[in-house]
Structure 1
Amino acid sequence: MFVIAVVLFVWKWRQNINETKRNRLDQVDEGEGGQLMTSETAPVKDLERQEEKSKQGGEAEGEEEQKKEKQRREEEQKKEKQRREEELKKERTKIKEVHLLLMKEVEQKQTELWKKEKELKEAQRQLETQRTENRQLRTELQEEKTRREGAEREVEDTDPQSDSSEFHLASESQAGGPGEPLHTPHTQTSDSGFDIEVDQHGKYFRLRNTSAQDKQLGLWELYLQVNTKQPIKFTFKQSFILQAGESVRMCARGYGSNYSNTDLKWNHLKPWSSGDRLQFSLYSNTREIQHELCVTIP
């Protein structure tokens, strides 16, 4: 057993020695190979290092260019933004000015419209006033026309049957026939060259020109009031002349066939009777009283 152990120990020792030698040889080979590799690959590595540096430099330059480009773009964007803001500001200012101008125009138009409405209302008021005045004027004209027509009819009713150019004043013998009693006035308040004689039978009365001059009685008016009744009016025709010293007979309605061509027919004149009180008033065309007479029929 001891011999086997010694043998094994010697073998193991030899094995270790051989292993150590081999390791050393391997290290020597590796060192020479490394030096060889180093000498051969040095230029390549230098080139690679230069390329790497170039690459890194290029990348740095590219990054710098990119940075500059980015800054340039940012500056351009900033300038563009500022330009747009300026334009927007100008546009807003312009819009504000236009708005103010439009507001001013609107206010001006509203003021003009208010003035026009005021003028229209005033014109309407004046028109309504004018219409009212026109209606009143038409009413007055119609009333005047009615009065004029009534006066014309009254004048026509009092005209003799013959033409006015042939109308002459009758003398006392022509005015009344024989046996026709005439009543002299009990009271006469004025005398300007006229006299009135009243028929007691209530058929007529006679207006006499007692002066020495012809009397132009055109548009003169003779009023007659019987008792307390409403006075009636007779208007003489424009061309009527009562010659000096002559008379005209004015007949009441119903006098019949006793009319003369020289008589004046007074359609509104009604017969009177005994006891009636007659008030005569003669006015000129200037509304001046010319003769008055108050008489009571016996």
Structure 2
Amino acid sequence: MTDLAQGLRLRDDFPGVGDWHYLDSAATAQKPTAVIDAIARAYGPDYATVHRGVYERSANMTLAYEAARRKVAGFIGAASDSEIVYVRGATEGINLVAQCWAGTQLKAGDHILLSTLEHHSNIVPWQIVAEKLGAQIDVVPLTQDGRIDLDAMRAMITPQHRMVALAHVSNVLGSVLDCRRAADIAHMVGAKILIDGCQAVPRLAVDVQALDCDFYVFSAHKLYGPTGIGVLWGRKELLDSMPPYQGGGSMIDKVTFEKTTYAPAP
């Protein structure tokens, strides 16, 4: 099959593309027919409650739901599917870590380290937490070729920096971070590091264990999947140390009016 024929066949898998050139995948990716059909099946003939029913269809939906979690874990090299937290998108994943880890572990005078090229979603959540706690945000500059300057990061990081949050791939410049080196620099002073992987997971092989980061977030809609869902990966011991982000039915072990106990991560 020629490259042209292969390209045309792939184009046919994306009904939203049609006869025009779609160049906005960094913002959101078109969905292939396989994904659209799977969503239609899940909302149609297969639909039932997840984790709340004992009848066959509910059990099958629950198995499919958790099978997807295992696939996500394998896709990014997670040690366990219990490290995969479903969220509404990468933005919620960052907010969850900002509120439930940084918001409980940082104190006045601590520092958070970001970079000049971060998306607003990897700036504003940290600003909210820093203002609440009296922490300070420091910003790593870029190199001449538009990359996060890790030499500058190494020079400016101190033990006062408790949290580092950086983009794996820039949504504006396309520059790629050396995540492992960034993680090594963060861990050198005892800081935790979150990586925004929204632009990386559709285009690069990602292994969170090899990257040695502490948290990794991405959104499905940039990865040819549905809108309204994303993934937060976190080290199991960190997830277990974090208080609940929101209260509700799925995150409980036992509820009484006197006391509620919570289910383990995720």
Q: TM-score, with normalisation over the residues of structure 1? A: 0.23
More helix by share: 1
Larger radius of gyration: 1
Q: TM-score, with normalisation over the residues of structure 2? A: 0.25
Q: Which has the higher contact order (CA 8 A, sep 6+)?
A: 2
